[in-house]
């Protein structure tokens, strides 16, 4: 099967004539430079420039030339000839043959988040293919790629992308990325992609030079100029980008980054329009969001339990309270979770969000909306991810901050709750290598990023002094990136093998006993029976079964509420310290 998506922006190759299109309302004239030859483009009254050329071969380089002579890359290029400042490369998307694939249902999702550049020693799409059998054996059913849109330099997390339609060339070619997705599908794995629609990176974004109206001068995000989503060409750029990845790259879903900074007064807003367009063209796609507002209006479900817009949301509340319990940390945003964490932890398990409109000490404002009405699969829970690990000063993993017994207990709860579990690459074998914040900027921008990174931690007790802040790794140092690669030799050690067996056993239990009761699981299904001094008892009435969790995260043995049904994990009766047990009673 061949797959190609016809987009409004940029170049679309065809053997019958290649069309080039750019919205440049700031200029009366625009030229296409294709294979070194300049061609005047036709301007419409709305600022769109168009030109169709015949006989242009795939692989040809091209750019758009502004009236002052500046050449700019195609913002919707499928690939570049070099870095983000180079010429764009014409790609024929129909050179790749896709294998048949039927999407897996969302309730089966066990997600592994990974960064292509540090997932393998080679750091490429092709190298990642060789690791897929390990993920399948472990019980992973979906991989989520951190952003791969091309960004400045070779190294980075991907959240500073400036060419949202082009895979980052350090990871491989477009066909290399497609090969990874195709191989994952043949192995039975879903593939999700993290996309960034809230800003562009600080280096290599030329859009303002020909379309300043693409941005809103009255608003800014923490990472750059805010985007004017209400304008039709801008709207098309992002809606079509979502469709492009799902269609041309045969992806199973998208994770939209930091949508609390995607602000659009238009009705319906851009986030709703993206979801509606995806549902119309790819009704089986899984759309997930990251949003620290704890909102639910973008995640409605119909009476049959099907998502109408977005499928699920990253649940930072679960992570934050679990992290406080595991480490005792209470600075920064952990402040909201440090006081009386046990009822908060139980509420996250039973209802999703902890903060559902109460006053947040950290934000000094009400935060969140009621969430108990959501089905449990509307929440993606995690103990580690790129943000919560990499945004620490030294990128420490949880195992270096807490005891193995506590981490095992929390992982058991995490992987066997009815929420959708997400793990960070290497977590399955107890990875202890750090995942640091790294970039590949140069000159003044590199200095600004280095200083800004260290300044972020000035409010923490451990980094009050400048000398202490200067020990924080330089994001631009190649060694910071190299130290963040996961250790594929660890699963062969006694400790790594033990952790991997532990994870695999939990995920096998999840798929065989819990997943069959998640489809159609209703809202208001979770109930807290106990949450005090390390003792947690939560029941969920799922679809055709009652799942019961009893956990003792204290330092002494204790009695927990009675249970019924089969004990599917742990030991019934008296609960020893750092022990977790679950029961399942299937309806007759």
pLDDT tens track for 474-505: 999 999 999 999 999 999 999 999 999 999 99
Is residue 63 domain-resident? yes
| Mean pLDDT score, 540-562 | 95
Of residues 520, 503, 275, the one with CA closest to residue 376: 520
Whether residue 548 contacts residue 582, with contact meaning beta carbons closer than 8 Å, is answered with yes
Band of the pLDDT at 218, cuts 50, 70, 90?
A: confident
Task: Tell me which long-range contacts 551-554 makes (C-beta under 8 A, separation of at least 24).
Answer: 551/409, 551/412, 551/413, 551/575, 551/579, 551/580, 551/581, 552/576, 552/577, 552/578, 552/579, 552/580, 553/325, 553/406, 553/409, 553/410, 553/577, 553/578
**Would you state the pLDDT for residue 20?**
98
257: annotated active-site residue: yes
Is residue 126 domain-resident? no
We report the CATH number of the domain holding residue 90 as 2.60.40.10
| Mean pLDDT score, 62-71 | 98
Mean pLDDT of the chain: 96
Give the number of domains in the chain: 2
Is residue 538 domain-resident? yes
| Mean pLDDT score, 555-570 | 93
Is residue 564 domain-resident? yes
Mark which of 38, 64, 95 sits at the end of a domain: 95
**Would you state the pLDDT for residue 574?**
60
Mark which of 65, 95, 125 sits at the end of a domain: 95
Q: Assign 80 to helix, strand or coil.
A: strand
Q: Would the pLDDT of 116 be above 90?
A: yes
> What angle do the packed helices 341-351 and 316-327 form, to 10 degrees?
150
Q: Would the pLDDT of 245 be above 80?
A: yes
Q: Would the pLDDT of 451 be above 90?
A: no
Band of the pLDDT at 211, cuts 50, 70, 90?
A: very high
pLDDT tens track for 250-270: 999 999 999 999 999 999 999
Run of H or E residues at 162: strand 161-167
**Which among 240, 247, 248, 290 is annotated as catalytic?**
290
| Mean pLDDT score, 401-412 | 97
We report the CATH number of the domain holding residue 582 as 2.60.40.1180
Distance CA 167, CA 148 (A): 5
Q: Assign 45 to helix, strand or coil.
A: coil
Q: What percent of the chain has pLDDT over 70?
A: 100
**Would you state the pLDDT for residue 180?**
98
Q: Residue 59 is part of which domain span?
A: 10-95
Is residue 478 domain-resident? no
| Mean pLDDT score, 43-53 | 98
Band of the pLDDT at 547, cuts 50, 70, 90?
A: very high
Q: Would the pLDDT of 292 be above 70?
A: yes
The token pair that represents 213 in the structure block: 């109206």
Tell me, rounded to whole angstroms, the distance of Cα 336 from its chain centroid. 24
Is residue 199 domain-resident? no
Q: Would the pLDDT of 588 be above 80?
A: no
Mark which of 66, 95, 124 sits at the end of a domain: 95
**Which among 257, 291, 313, 474 is annotated as catalytic?**
257
Q: Output the pTM of the full model.
A: 0.97
364: annotated active-site residue: no
pLDDT tens track for 321-335: 999 999 999 999 999
pLDDT tens track for 341-355: 999 999 999 999 999
Is residue 18 domain-resident? yes
Distance CA 498, CA 563 (A): 30
């Amino acid at each position: 099967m061949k797959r190609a998506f016809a987009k409004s922006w940029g170049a679309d190759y065809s053997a019958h004539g290649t069309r080039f299109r750019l919205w440049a309302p700031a200029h009366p004239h625009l030229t296409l430079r294709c294979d070194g030859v300049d061609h005047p483009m036709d301007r419409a009254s709305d600022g769109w420039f168009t030109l169709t050329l015949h006989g242009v071969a795939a692989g040809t380089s091209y750019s758009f030339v502004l009236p002052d002579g500046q050449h700019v890359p195609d913002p919707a290029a499928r690939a570049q000839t070099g870095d983000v400042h180079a010429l764009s490369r014409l790609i024929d998307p129909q050179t790749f043959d896709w294998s048949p694939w039927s999407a897996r249902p969302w309730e089966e999702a066990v997600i592994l988040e990974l960064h292509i550049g540090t997932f393998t020693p080679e750091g490429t799409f092709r190298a990642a293919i060789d690791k897929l059998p390990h993920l399948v054996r472990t019980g992973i059913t979906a991989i989520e790629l951190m952003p791969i849109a091309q960004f400045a330099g070779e190294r980075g997390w991907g959240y500073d992308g400036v060419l949202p339609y082009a895979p980052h060339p350090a990871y491989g070619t477009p066909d290399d990325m497609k090969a990874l997705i195709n191989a994952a599908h043949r192995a039975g794995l879903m593939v999700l992609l993290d996309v960034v629609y809230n800003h562009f990176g600080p280096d290599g974004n030329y859009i303002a030079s020909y379309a300043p109206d693409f941005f809103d001068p009255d608003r800014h995000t923490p990472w750059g100029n805010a985007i004017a989503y209400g304008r039709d060409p801008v709207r098309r750029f992002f809606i079509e980008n979502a469709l492009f990845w799902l269609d041309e790259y045969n992806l199973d879903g998208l994770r939209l980054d930091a949508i609390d900074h995607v602000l659009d007064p238009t009705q319906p807003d851009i986030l709703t329009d993206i979801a509606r367009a995806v549902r119309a063209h790819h009704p089986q796609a899984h759309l997930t969001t990251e949003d620290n507002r704890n909102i639910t209006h973008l995640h409605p479900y119909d009476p049959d339990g099907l998502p109408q817009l977005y499928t699920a949301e990253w649940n930072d509340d679960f992570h934050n309270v679990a992290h406080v319990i595991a480490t005792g940390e209470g600075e920064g945003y952990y402040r909201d979770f440090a006081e009386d964490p046990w009822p908060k932890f139980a509420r996250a398990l039973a209802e999703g969000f902890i903060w559902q409109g109460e006053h947040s000490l950290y934000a000094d404002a009400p935060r969140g909306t009621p969430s108990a009405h959501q089905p449990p699969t509307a929440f993606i829970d995690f103990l580690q991810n790129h943000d919560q690990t990499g945004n620490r000063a030294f990128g420490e993993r949880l195992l270096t901050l807490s005891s193995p017994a506590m981490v095992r207990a929390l992982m058991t709860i995490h992987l066997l709750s009815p929420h959708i579990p997400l793990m960070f690459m290497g977590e399955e074998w107890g990875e202890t290598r750090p995942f640091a914040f790294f970039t590949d900027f140069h000159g003044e921008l590199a200095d600004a990023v280095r200083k800004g990174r260290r300044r972020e931690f000035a409010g923490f007790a451990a980094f009050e002094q400048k000398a202490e802040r200067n020990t924080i790794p330089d994001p631009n140092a190649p060694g910071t990136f190299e130290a963040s690669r996961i250790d594929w030799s660890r699963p062969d050690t006694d400790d790594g093998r033990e952790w991997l067996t532990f994870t695999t056993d939990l995920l096998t239990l999840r798929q065989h006993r819990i997943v069959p009761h998640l489809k159609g699981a209703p809202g208001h299904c979770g109930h807290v029976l106990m949450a005090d001094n390390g003792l947690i008892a939560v029941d969920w009435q799922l679809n055709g079964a009652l799942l019961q969790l009893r956990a003792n995260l204290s330092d002494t043995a204790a009695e927990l509420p009675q249970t019924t049904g089969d004990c599917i994990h742990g030991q019934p009766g008296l609960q020893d310290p750092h022990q977790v047990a679950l029961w399942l009673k299937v309806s007759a």
